[in-house]
Chains A and B, each alone.
Chain A
Amino acid sequence: MISANLPALQVIIPLLAAPLAFLLRKPRLVWPFALLTTVLTLLVSIGLLQQVLDQGVISYAMGGWSPPWGIEYRVDSANAFVALIVSAMGAIVMFYAGTSIRHELPEHKQTLFHVAYLLCLAGLLGIVVTGDAFNVFVFLEVSSLSTYIMVSLGANRRALTATFQYLIMGTLGATFILIGVGLMYVMTGTLNMVDLAQRLPEVAETRTIYSAFAFVTVGVCLKLALFPLHGWLPNAYAYAPSVATAFVASTATKVAIYVLLRFVLTIFGVTFSFNTMPLGQILMVLAILAILIPSTVAIYQTNIKRLFAYSSVGQVGYIILGISFGTVLGVSAGLLHIFNHALMKGGIFLALGCLYYRTGSVQLDAFRGLGKTMPWTMAAIVVGGLGLVGVPLTAGFISKWYLVMAALEQGYWPLAVVVLAGSLLAAVYLWKLVEMAYFQQPDNATEVREAPLALLLPTWLVIASTIYFGINTDLTIGVATLAAETLIEGVR
């Protein structure tokens, strides 16, 4: 009974828990309740991935209305994989949130934060499991609106202006997607993704579908912060509460990338996207710029959350570079990096939250002598950072290795140089922190202790998993390759 309804439960559990959490009101009750919800959601995701790997694609008719008339939830290996990433990070970050939020937010805002968090989780998972193009838009707005709330709760007043900018850009992006979906509907008369994929080729050579493709791609690229559409991201990440940054950085852009993959590969199809439309070339150029320029900008940042936000834009570049090849190897390298980057960046932002908890600052100065005063926190940042650089034995190395292989498979050897240059830039900004933390003496005026275990434990759980997945790659590579094949071959 339960196992047959997993696709619906994946969304409904956090969606229903959000208003219930609001009714509980007292932060002391809300956090355990929210934690329980996220753990249940994680269990559902694990169950879903297991089911998909055992039995193949799950098609779930929402409310008993059979597709293509009703809304279909369709889970295959690609979205089960992404759903697992989202709900795993959702549960771990929620565990961390208990201590961090109590410290960072005034009491009357804590409940609201948890409610927004659960809604965001529901929205993200909804985007991932749904098989209906319009449903994607609705869940995208659910997750975006709740993300705006979380970001705006940041302590600095700049969080407000950052949120406003994010809201404007995010709404423009979502509306672009809505326009694209509308143009697709007017040509095919359907919103179901499988149905769309079957009916689009007939009408593909029309200006309406060309513009639908352009609107959807640009809209999604705004959401996933592809250079040069990343303007909203650095400030939003820098001024949001630590928990919100860690959660949003490791899930929201990743889900947007999944949406891009789903639309471009499954619905429009590889032939249309990469041969009829010049998507491959456009994405490749933007990806190269994204790897080089924001990583360079990151070096000059003194706010370290902002530094890693720029680094995120660069890392999105790697993922998009893999996708731009339009091959199974390229897309699986992209998917692999979605997973690995979610872990690495999530772990780093959690560690920065530990630093903020003790020092109340994430400026470069706060790192002075941190190697002595907060050895575990600093070690987490270094290990995560080494992953961003792509040092062997970290998860980042595996995805970059696959990315270079995918580039060489196409004969694009200069791209290997770009990937290497990006790694060097990452090494430069990481070194800035290492130098400050290990080669400078701590200020004696302020006594800084190591962060509490309730924060260190989830941080290190994430960081340790980046090493685990850097050594034992069977699971991630296997699922990523399977997912890439599913996306590319799609329903045809």
Chain B
Amino acid sequence: MVLGLYNYWIVVLLMMTGFYIVIAHGNLIKKVVGLNIFQTSVIIMYVSMGKVRDGAPPILTDGVTLYSNPLPHVLMLTAIVVGVATTALALSLVIRINEAYGSVEEEDIHTQEQSS
């Protein structure tokens, strides 16, 4: 039962890894990467729940009656695009922050804001 749901364990592990990085790390680039891992775990969750046991790939074929569910995969195409856009925007923000503060470390930025 527990091992049979191993795909969900992987999802939870990845999700918590990403979440922890976002919270615990002060480096903004690392935060973005953590956010990425967090989002990726959700993609794996959707993709794995589309799998139907003994189901064939969802391409119409003679003699096959049981197919896997293609819908979650299609949804994840959209989620991947959203993730790419978010990452691109986040990284370009980090570049701008680096230009404005000369640092991508949260602590440095914080001390600069306190002193200014």
Contact = CB atoms under 8 A, between A and B. Distances in A.
A179 interface: yes
Nearest to B86: A171
A145 B78 contact: no
A160 B97 contact: yes
B42 A158 contact: no
Given A145-B86, A178-B42, A157 B93 contact: no
A148 interface: yes
B78 A148 contact: no
Contacts of B31: 168
B82 A185 contact: no
B97 A164 contact: yes
Q: How large is the interface on B (under 10, 10 to 19, 20 to 34, 35 or more residues)?
A: 20 to 34
B45 to A, nearest CB: 6
Given A141-B82, A178-B79, A152 B96 contact: yes
B42 A179 contact: yes
A149 interface: yes
A175 B39 contact: yes
Contacts of B94: 164
8 nearest CB pairs, A to B? A157-B100, A141-B82, A186-B49, A160-B97, A164-B93, A160-B96, A182-B46, A171-B86
A138 interface: yes
Interface of A: 134, 137-138, 141, 145, 148-149, 152, 157-158, 160-161, 163-164, 167-168, 171-172, 175, 178-179, 182, 185-186
B82 A148 contact: no
Contact of B109 (A161, A163, A179): A161
A149 B97 CA distance: 14
Nearest to B75: A134
Given A148-B89, A182-B45, 10 more contacts: A141-B86, A160-B93, A164-B28, A164-B90, A171-B35, A171-B39, A172-B19, A175-B42, A179-B45, A182-B46
Contacts, number: 66
Q: Identify whether the interface residues of B are mostly helix, strand, loop, or mixed.
A: helix
A214 to B, nearest CB: 14
Contacts of B35: 168, 171-172
B42 A182 contact: yes
B17 to A, nearest CB: 14
Interface string B71-92: 0100100110010011001100
Central interface residue in A134, A172, A175, A178, by most chain B CB within 10 Å: A175
Given A141-B86, A182-B45, A163 B78 contact: no
Contacts of A179: 42, 45
21 contacts: A134-B78, A137-B79, A138-B82, A141-B85, A145-B85, A145-B89, A148-B89, A152-B93, A160-B96, A161-B101, A163-B93, A164-B90, A164-B93, A167-B90, A167-B93, A171-B86, A171-B90, A172-B22, A178-B42, A182-B42, A185-B72
